[in-house]
Structures are given as C-alpha cells and as structure tokens.
A and B are shown apart, each in its own frame.
Chain A
Amino acid sequence: MTEAAAPDTIVVIDDDYAMRLSCSKILSKMGLRVEAFENGARGLEGVAELKPGLVVVDLKMPGISGLEVISRVHEIDPQIIMVVITGYATIDTAVEAMKCGAYDFLPKPFSPDELRMIINRGLDRRRLALASQRGEVERALLKRRFVTFVSHQLRTPLVAIHQYLDVLKHLDQTKDDPARRQEWIDRCLKRTEELQKLITDWLTLARVEGGTLIKERVEVDLKPIISGILTSYEEMAAAEQVSLEAVWPEDALCVWGDRNCVNVLFDNLITNAIKYNKPGGKVTVTGCLSSGEAAIAVADTGVGIPEQYRPFLFDEFFRIKGEGVKRTEGSGLGLHISKQIVSEMGGSIEVESQAGIGSTFRVRLPAWCAPAEDTEMGGWE
C-alpha cells in the first residue's frame, strides 16, 4: 500500500561493505533513513518490510542479481524508485537496467555530491508520482459524486441570475441606476450562455461514451473554420489582453471528417489558450501539411501545466486546482471531448508544456488531399 510507504527511507543493497557504509553516511546526513543489506535476498525482505521510497542497488552481486532485484522490488511496489550503481559501467548495462525499470544509473566510483544529486532527483520523481496518484483517487470520487457535481455546476449560474433579478425587483425605484441595471443584464446573459455551454458539453459527453461524436464525413477545410473561431474570440482575447495569430500555408488544409466536430475541437483549444494565458500573452495557431496529415498547433504563453497533472489533462471533469490557478467557468469536459473527436477522426493530440512559458497542443488529423511533394511542405514545418 502506498499509504503505508515510507518515502524518506532508502534501502541500499550492495555486497561491498565500504560502499554500504559510505552510502549510509552520505544519505543519513541528508536527513534520510537508510537501511543497508549485503545481498539481494536480504535486501528484498528489507524492501517488503520497510516500503522505502527509493532503493539503491549494486548491479553485480553474488546470489540474486541487481537486475532481478529491480523487477522483484517493482513486484512489491511499482512506484519505488530504483537507482543502480555498478563498477563495470557500460552503456549496455545501463540501458538494460533502465529497461528493467531502473530510474537512474550511477557508475562507480562516484562522489558524495553525485550520489546526493541522483538520490534527490529520484525522490522528487517519487513525490510527483504520489501526487498524481492522489489526483486519480480524487477523480474517482468526483465521478461517484457526478450528480451532486453536475447539479452544483448548473445551480451556480442559475443562482447568480436569480439573485440579480431578485435584487432588481427589490431595489427601490429611486435607487435604481440604469447603467448598473444594464451591466447586470449583460452579466445575466453571460451566465445563461455559460449554462447552455455546460448542457451542450454534458450532452456531448453522453455521446462520447457511446462513441458517436462524428455524424458526417466530408471534406473540411481547416483554415476558414479556425480563422472564424479566432475572429469570434477577438473581443474575449482583447479583454484578457491576449493577442491572436494564425500562421497558415497558402493552400487549403483539408481533413476528412465532421465539420461541427472540427469546430468544437479548435474552439475548445483556442478558448483554453486564451483563458489560461497571461495579460500581454499570445495565442498562436499554426497549421501545415506533414506526412499526409494536417498538423495544427495551438500555442499559448500562459503559466504552463504542472507535470503531475499532464497525465489527467484529457480526463473528464479534470481541472487543475490550487492557489494561483485562475478560476474559470466550464464543465471540465473540453479536452476530454477534444481528444475523443480527434481519435474518432483517426488523428492524435498531444501537449507540451513548460512552467512559466506556456503550453502547446498539437493535433494531427489525416489530410483529405494527398500531400504535395515534400519540398513544398518544408517551409511550414
């Protein structure tokens, strides 16, 4: 059980007494609990009992080999970080150790600093894995409370609208302010739009589960669709102080699929890129033809997506929480639906993100026209 694990405990398995001693010394000075064992069999017993966050293992030992120790440790807990040390370091042994599930590799002789650095990196990795796992548990709970969740999301905008109308009704005529009245009407309209979008997303989710988002298969030119989306969000982008840009090849960029779905897909990606951007930021949509596919990238200059959240980004209802995260309305379904659209159209979607620099969503969809010669595409790569 991960809950019972001791993340700050390190197990060292090495037949060399001097190595066990020096590893123990260096690592205990880092505030870690270290237990050292002289062979694989004892080491594995120790791992089963202690549930350490990280195991340092010598590759060449009498008895159970280091490689075997790695796979046996992962049978106990696949999340334990394995660091391999070895005296006969070659690229091949390193590669083999990595294949067996080792996280990192340290050739002997090594300095205390090198050991510290590798161990710290391993422990960071472990913490990240634990954090992701917690996210997963949270999502399972969320799904179970689907009805409560959906009702709350529906009720929130409704309550706001109701309250505005109710206050307008109760306000003394003499205190009525036409400008404020107008502003409140605008806000109510915004909230009704929010409601409609929520309902559309949930209906789409129901269709996602049936695997039937695509209703037609026709030739769709991406350029006018994406340009149209960008134009329709100019005002919203200006309000967020975000500029919009598109970089296109001269020729049409056509895919084979459902026009409405393509529209929903890029609408989701572009609104996200605006919403999760920074004032003064930029959204760049680039498109090109590449190896028979239309490759479209939607890049923002926002805060980026923390690595531990990326595996869940396309899951239903997943939304990044925490301090410093902009509060935004929405169903938490946009990317989930987008991914489904892309896969029903036989394409792929990926995300790249760097903290503080921004995120780029890359969509590839099978192109409708056979690609022209490669030399012509070079300029758009």
Chain B
Amino acid sequence: MTMEERRILIVDDDRDFAEAVACFLEANRFTVFKAYDGKQGVKLAKLERPDLILMDIMMNERTEGFFTIQELRRDAELKGIPIFVISSFCTHLPDFEIPESGGWMAHDMFFSKPVDLVQLLDKIRQRLEKAA
C-alpha cells in the first residue's frame, strides 16, 4: 500500500477544525474519515480500520478523548492503531508520555492546537512508514 492510500480518522467535536485538517490531508492524498465525538470515533474506527487516528481530548465539555483512547486500546483489533493526540487542553502532556509497556494513556504523539500542518504531515508519514 502506498502512502497515498492511507486512511486517517479524525475525532474532534469542532467540525470546523476537523474540516480544515481533513481537507489538508485529503489534498495530500490521504483518505480521511471524521467523527465528532468519542462514541462515533470508536464506531468509525471499527468500521473503517484507519491506519492512524487523530484524537481531540476536550470533547463535549469533558475529557472524552482520554476515555476514547482507553476504549480503543482495550479493543484487541484496534489497539495497534497509532493515535496522535491534537488538543488545546494543554500545550504538552507530560504525565501522559507513552510508557514502553503501553500504559492506559497510550497515545503515540502529542500536538497542541492549532496544529503545525507541515509537522503533522511529516510525523504521520514517518509513523506510517515505521508501521509498514
């Protein structure tokens, strides 16, 4: 599979943010799916089996992203999908670095909002190459 056919799921309750990032990734020839809350995100992840997930943290006035990541990590078939957290919740996630063993908050990378598009694209490509 070439990089251009890779599938990315964006989980973010801000439709405008999701739309902007999705459009940018599509312009870079990714296939993008959008979910606007955690529940929809898990459902789409099961259905579409994305190669990578971009996850917001604060959704619907709570830290829904944390719970959603936990849920994805508990699912035997989904737990291997890399998750990049993109959030304005904080500028970094010091407490949530991924432990080698893979702890409860096993996201792969953290980006603060607004996201640097070039850097995001770069990291997505790197991560997917590694996976391949």
Contact = CB atoms under 8 A, between A and B. Distances in A.
A159 interface: yes
Nearest to B21: A163
B110 to A, nearest CB: 15
A159 B14 contact: yes
A160 B115 CA distance: 10
B80 to A, nearest CB: 28
Interface in B73-130: 88-89, 113-115, 117-118
A327 B13 CA distance: 9
A191 interface: yes
B16 A155 contact: no
A167 B24 contact: yes
Contacts of A167: 20-21, 23-24, 117
A221 B19 CA distance: 44
Taking chain A's interface residues, is the majority helix, strand, or loop, or is none over half, making it mixed? helix
Given A152-B88, A167-B21, A160 B16 contact: yes
A156 interface: yes
B131 interface: no
A152 B58 contact: yes
Contacts of A160: 14, 16-17, 20
A191 B118 CA distance: 24
A99 interface: no
Nearest to A183: B19
Interface string A151-174: 010011011111110110011100
Contacts of B21: 163, 167
B24 A170 contact: yes
B24, B60, B61, B117, most chain A CB atoms within 10 A: B61
Given A152-B58, A156-B88, A319-B61, A163 B27 contact: no
A144 interface: no
A159 B114 contact: yes
A134 interface: no
Contacts of A191: 16
Interface string B41-67: 000000000000000001011100000
A170 B16 contact: no
A327 B23 contact: no
Given A156-B88, A170-B24, A170-B117, A163 B60 contact: no
B32 to A, nearest CB: 12
Contacts of B88: 152, 155-156, 159
Contacts of B16: 160-161, 163-164, 187, 191
Nearest to B13: A327
A159 B89 contact: no
A215 interface: no
A327 B36 CA distance: 10
Interface string A304-344: 00000000000000010100000100000000000000000
Contact of A162 (B13, B60, B62, B114): B114
Nearest to A321: B61
B123 to A, nearest CB: 15
Contacts of A327: 13, 60
A167 B121 CA distance: 12
Contact of B117 (A156, A166, A319, A321): A166
A172 B27 contact: yes
Nearest to A191: B16
Contacts of B13: 327
Interface string A165-201: 0110011100100001000100100010000000000
Contacts of B89: 152
B49 to A, nearest CB: 25
A321 B62 CA distance: 10
Nearest to A188: B16
Nearest to B89: A152
A175 B23 CA distance: 10
B24 A171 contact: yes
A319 B60 CA distance: 11
The 3 closest A-B pairs by CB, nearest first: A160-B16, A163-B20, A162-B114
6 contacts: A152-B58, A162-B114, A163-B114, A166-B20, A167-B23, A319-B61
Interface of A: 152, 155-156, 158-164, 166-167, 170-172, 175, 180, 184, 187, 191, 319, 321, 327
Given A163-B114, A166-B117, A187-B19, 15 more contacts: A152-B89, A156-B14, A158-B114, A159-B88, A159-B113, A160-B16, A162-B114, A163-B16, A163-B17, A166-B20, A170-B117, A171-B24, A172-B27, A175-B27, A187-B16
